[in-house]
Amino acid sequence: MECLYFSASRCRSCTLMTVPYARQLQSKVEDCQQLLSGFQSLEFLPPQASNEQGFRNKAKMVISGTTEQPTIGILDADGHGVDLRNCGVIAAPLRAVFPVIEQFIHDLKLIPYDVPKRKGELKHVILTLSDTGAVMVRWVLRTKKHFVALRDSLPQFLEQLPRHSVVSVNFLPEHKAALEGEEEIILTRRSTLEFGLNGVPMHLRPQGFFQTNSEIAAALYRQARQWINDANPESVWDLYSGVGGFALHCAAEDRTVYGIETSTEAVEAAKTSAKAMELEDVHFKAQDATEFALNAGWAPDAVIVNPPRRGISAQLAAWLNESDVQHVIYSSCNAKSLARDLEWLDNYTPQLARVMDMFPQTSHYEVIVKLERKAA
């Protein structure tokens, strides 16, 4: 794809913007194969390609400039706003919300935060798009100065958003390089944004995490579900479960599933989904994955891990090695830490891997690996 912002050097976030997409995808496969080259048993399935533009379901926009002329985008090296409201990797329905955001900045006289001067109120607007067309809008403020104006204007704001949208206000009082603060007030009756990936209802709360590419997230969950169903385990743990994507997709009759996640927001969202699906034997718990495994007192037939970039802990790897777990599925956003973790999991044989292109126009990607316990 072509990007005028990239060509004009206004934004260089998409580092592979000038590389043809087919070449991008092939280079990611080659990078992953090289990093995992120590595992001779590993067979790579064809990669899962993405749309190369309009794929981002989330837009984390810095608000700068003035009330009369706000910028919606990023900051330059000097802390001044760069407007990126026509960014081509952001989904078109999200870009359509930017004029509404600008209108309400004007109408409510919201004061954008000036980073160099450390003055102002409105720091960010974070938008998330569901596959249903609904959006979540999160206003990030420095103080509560504009809160009443945003709360009281909610009916007018919702009139310009798709049905079933969610609106909240987050507070970030500190001057620091962070996207959001701890305090969040949801303004709408609806507190979660509902997705319907592969027919599975999933819910996102304002401070929860969801994959930024819905198309690839759906493919990732389908791949994990296929591998789990092929193994047909009676019990599954989904560690680092987030809003429950893997756990909900792998639920089946006569199968016990546990999802373990530190974020209480994500766990509540996952419980909402399980209740909507009437899943009586799918359970979610807010706890550290390693702590849960070490203290559970039993081991399932299969474990899915989807850790952050740093990978799983050495303790969890050691527990898996010595456990009775027969099948492991590892979903990783960092093939370097994945390679280290597969070395740790030396009682398992990595069999299949598939690169999932969650992040086109960049060098980042997701990879999912199927492992089986070695014969005693």
Q: Specify whether 87 is catalytic.
A: no
Q: Which residues of the chain have pLDDT under 70?
A: none
Environment class of 234 (CB within 10 Å of its CB; exposed 0-12, middle 13-18, buried 19+): exposed
Query: What's residue 195's pLDDT?
Result: 94
**pLDDT digits over 7-55, tens only?**
899 999 999 999 999 999 999 999 999 999 999 999 999 999 999 999 9
Query: What's residue 218's pLDDT?
Result: 97
Query: What's residue 34's pLDDT?
Result: 98
Query: What's residue 208's pLDDT?
Result: 85
Query: What's residue 231's pLDDT?
Result: 97
- Residues in CB range of 56: below 8 A, 6 or more apart: 89, 90, 91, 94, 212, 213
Query: What's residue 209's pLDDT?
Result: 86
Environment class of 60 (CB within 10 Å of its CB; exposed 0-12, middle 13-18, buried 19+): middle
Which candidate in 32, 87, 250, 333 is catalytic? Answer: 333
Query: What's residue 53's pLDDT?
Result: 96
Backbone angles phi, psi at 359, to 5 degrees: -130, 70
**pLDDT digits over 91-137, tens only?**
999 999 999 999 999 999 999 999 999 999 999 999 999 999 999 99
**Cα(21)–Cα(9) distance, integer angstroms:** 20
Q: What is the pTM of this model?
A: 0.94
For residue 126, give the nearest of 59, 74, 209 by alpha carbon.
59
Q: Which amino acid is at 82?
A: V
Query: What's residue 270's pLDDT?
Result: 95
Q: Which amino acid is at 254?
A: D
